Structure 1
Amino acid sequence: MSIRKLKADKIFDGRNFLTNKILLIDENAVVAGISEDNNEDDVEIYKGILSPGFINAHCHLELSHLKNQIEEDTGLVDFVSKVIRLRNFDKEEILHAIDVAEQEMYNNGIVAVGDICNTTDTLVQKRKSKILYRNFVEVLGFVPQFAQSRFDGIVQNVYEPFFAEMPDTSIVPHAPYSVSDEMFALINQHSEGKIISIHNQETKEENTFFKTGESKFQDFYQLINTNIDFFQPSGKSSLQTYLPKLNLPKQILLIHNTQTSEEDILFAENLAKENGQQLFWILCPNANLYIENQLPNIDLLRKHNCTIALGTDSLASNHELNILSEIQSIQKYFPHLPKEELLQWATLNGSQALGFSNLFGSFEDGKTCGVVLLNEDFTEVKRIV
């Protein structure tokens, strides 16, 4: 069996930077170990940092046709309204945009993706993909009496086609403001022991909606001709309102978190511990800046040892699907964060969030994690393996 020997200024193994080491990759692109640098002749030498391939823990690949269709800084409520209005593109245009966007992710060193699915539009692409996907089939339905019919429709029309080919697929709630208690109960039961995600506290309007009932979400439901007179605010933040309703999944990916308080973090982490669950806090900084020009309090998440991973969101809310670009934005606003920590969020933590750590995220024997080359200032990424 032939072995490629790769050397760079540094090797990031998923947790730490290593120097004077050689990364061994076999002919099937499987990690065969890390050895000492003994000045052998048949070593490929690179300038920069060798890292495992990146994990995009949150994406909406099916919205790729909406690139540059929605202006920046609209606020979340207006953004969601525009996504709903713009979904009906020609099918061929949608499929072409998906193909182009996925190739972009591959070129940017992404090896695995947690992808939100409201349709089966991405299924054709995923059948032939070099990227591994965990599909999150998203359910929306805020009116209680329609919960069962909406849930059954999604199961039949989206979940079952994905599950038949990709059994890791799970059904997930869209967001607290778009899922009724009855729908949460159906999702919770269906997702027992599984990995799910939810868009969490992406706008201050979300917390206001649950604390007082008065927010721009009232206008949103009027816009889509939905009567929500039944809704009674809990008087609590959105996270503290909905999270107790999701006690059966084994892992929950909390997406965005721009309005998450210290009280929310402590509540969520303590509840997860009681339930034997693991939480992952997924950051999509470029989408947060695009939609509301805000960022989560990353230092607060780090203070409480939250497990952080990174996502890109969709091309409706981002200019590119590139995890390195997300890292660059974090560095701009949080320049004190160690590079090793940022890379761990992009690799090992992301693989754990998606349940793929047996394959990706770190240079450990037997993994097919891919290899990317970064320059020292984190401005360029190139796929090596």
Structure 2
Amino acid sequence: MKSFRADYVFPVYADPVKNGIVTVDDAGKIISVTDSNNPPPDGGPIEQLSGIITPGFINAHCHTELSHLKDKIKTGGGLVSFIKDIQTVRGADQQLVNDAIEKADNDMYDNGIVAVGDISNTNHSIPVKTKSKLYYHTFVETFGFLPQNAEDVFNKAINVLNEFKPLPVSITPHAPYSVSKELFKLIRKHSEIGHNLISIHNQECEDENKFYRYKLGGFLDLYKHFGIDIEYFKPQARNSMQSIIPLLTNKQKVLLVHNTCTNLKDIYFIKRFDRKINWCFCPKANLYIEGKLPKIELFVDQGFNITLGTDSLASNDKLCLLSEMRTIQQKFPAISTARLIQWGTLNGAEFLGIDDEKGSLEAGKTPGLNLITGLDGFKITPESKVRRLI
């Protein structure tokens, strides 16, 4: 057994423990969480640490198969430009792609991440995921805004999904502006009969809402750029999220990712529907692409599960949840470190359905242990770092 003592231990499911001691067995299973007045019963050596101990992080939204695009796409160009650039530079030597996925996997491990909700359009990440120390749930992402292509797109997604099995995997829509109503319905039908988590990009820019409300804005140029005839599409007179929520299943948990332009009316709209909605924020990617952050304070204490993600290295300089927490706290200082840690651990584990093993420091779990140093009290600073303990 190993024991670690730190200034504070954050079990997440309970209040922080001052001068806390975490004891684990050789497999990383939590034996106990105590304080210095109640040392572990085995009486073995205790490693003394400065900082706070937390569970391993859960990266609820990533695209490891885009890892070879690091530093390839300019910042601040907006989502429409970003999508065009991705399609232009995405193609690369397969070995380069594979090596970048493996490096991303190793980097996330080193950054204290223990589980990942990973978006995939191909089977490229299977070899890495099969041997990884991390838990992955793969979301096979569908694109198809033309109604007549819905069945073909869905069947291709089923083929990719079958390649990933028996790894945890599901089929998901990409975004409101890239999935037709017909394709949404096929995914919903598939989700009614088995376990099929959903993770959908939501309201990343104002143009997405403009397109759905008025059929105006930058997405018209995007469809023209890709030669997609959207004559059939009629403006919905409401935001994109409000338009697609009725098309989503109420049988599965749904993760709405980014939410850069989601407003309070949208949040209240969701409350009127019987949907298992979770939110995910990837603030560094939002700044990279759009130069703006979601109004995260609007989502706090609304009764929803909030998680954190890194997005991809095409839109970020590192895959590190502590960096995402720092970015949020710099803009929203009222959001406490304890709350951010819950978003980045237990909440992500609950969405992925692995909270029986990960997400909190409870006896019997194997959540991993992180040490966060360089804090100012409990505030995350530019000097704060994370180190994996187990």
TM bucket (normalised to shorter chain) is: over 0.9
**Gaps spanning 5+ residues in structure 2: where?**
none
TM-score where L is the length of structure 1: 0.95
Q: Tell me which amino acid in the other structure corresponds to 1:245.
A: L
The CA distance in 2 between the partners of 1:311 and 1:380, in whole Å, is: 17
Please state how far the C-alpha of 1:21 moved relative to its aligned partner: 2.9
Q: Which residue of 1 aligns with 2:365?
A: 367
Please state how far the C-alpha of 1:41 moved relative to its aligned partner: 6.0
Q: Which residue of 2 aligns with 1:98?
A: 101
Does the 8 Å contact 2:208/2:240 carry over to 1? Answer: yes
Cα deviation code 1:296-337 (max 9, x no counterpart): 111100142332110000000000000000011011111121
Within-5 A mapping of 1:112-123:
112-123=115-126
Please state how far the C-alpha of 1:101 moved relative to its aligned partner: 1.1
Cα deviation code 1:45-75 (max 9, x no counterpart): 1110010000000000000000000000010
**Gaps spanning 5+ residues in structure 1: where?**
none
Q: Which residue of 2 aligns with 1:59?
A: 62
Does the 8 Å contact 2:7/2:20 carry over to 1? Answer: no
The CA distance in 2 between the partners of 1:35 and 1:263, in whole Å, is: 44
Cα deviation code 1:122-156 (max 9, x no counterpart): 00000110000011000000000011011111211
The CA distance in 2 between the partners of 1:303 and 1:57, in whole Å, is: 20
Question: What is the DSSP-based 3-state SS (H/G/I as helix, E as strand, rest coil) of the residue aligned with 1:136?
Answer: strand
Cα deviation code 1:212-236 (max 9, x no counterpart): 0011111001101111100011111
The CA distance in 1 between the partners of 2:225 and 2:296, in whole Å, is: 34
TM-score where L is the length of structure 2: 0.94
Q: Which residue of 1 aligns with 2:31?
A: 32
The CA distance in 1 between the partners of 2:26 and 2:246, in whole Å, is: 48
Does the 8 Å contact 1:49/1:376 carry over to 2? Answer: no
How many correspondences in the alignment?
Answer: 376
Q: Tell me which amino acid in the other structure corresponds to 1:96.
A: D
The CA distance in 1 between the partners of 2:16 and 2:361, in whole Å, is: 11
The CA distance in 2 between the partners of 1:85 and 1:209, in whole Å, is: 23
The CA distance in 1 between the partners of 2:272 and 2:23, in whole Å, is: 41
Q: Which residue of 1 aligns with 2:174?
A: 174
Please state how far the C-alpha of 1:288 moved relative to its aligned partner: 0.1
Does the 8 Å contact 1:65/1:97 carry over to 2? Answer: yes
Q: Which residue of 1 aligns with 2:11?
A: 13
Question: What is the DSSP-based 3-state SS (H/G/I as helix, E as strand, rest coil) of the residue aligned with 2:272?
Answer: helix
Q: Tell me which amino acid in the other structure corresponds to 2:373.
A: N
Task: Answer yes or no: is 1:4 the counterpart of 2:2.
Answer: yes
Cα deviation code 1:247-297 (max 9, x no counterpart): 3442100000011111100111331xxx3x422110000000000011111
Task: Answer yes or no: is 1:380 the counterpart of 2:385.
Answer: yes
Q: Which residue of 2 aligns with 1:291?
A: 289
Within-5 A mapping of 1:266-285:
266-271=268-273, 275=274, 277-285=275-283
Does the 8 Å contact 2:309/2:321 carry over to 1? Answer: yes
1:143 to 141, 146, 167: 146
Within-5 A mapping of 1:199-278:
199-271=201-273, 275=274, 277-278=275-276
% identical aligned pairs? 43
Moved more, 343-352 or 298-307: 298-307
Please state how far the C-alpha of 1:376 moved relative to its aligned partner: 4.7
Q: Which residue of 1 aligns with 2:129?
A: 126
Does the 8 Å contact 2:258/2:282 carry over to 1? Answer: yes
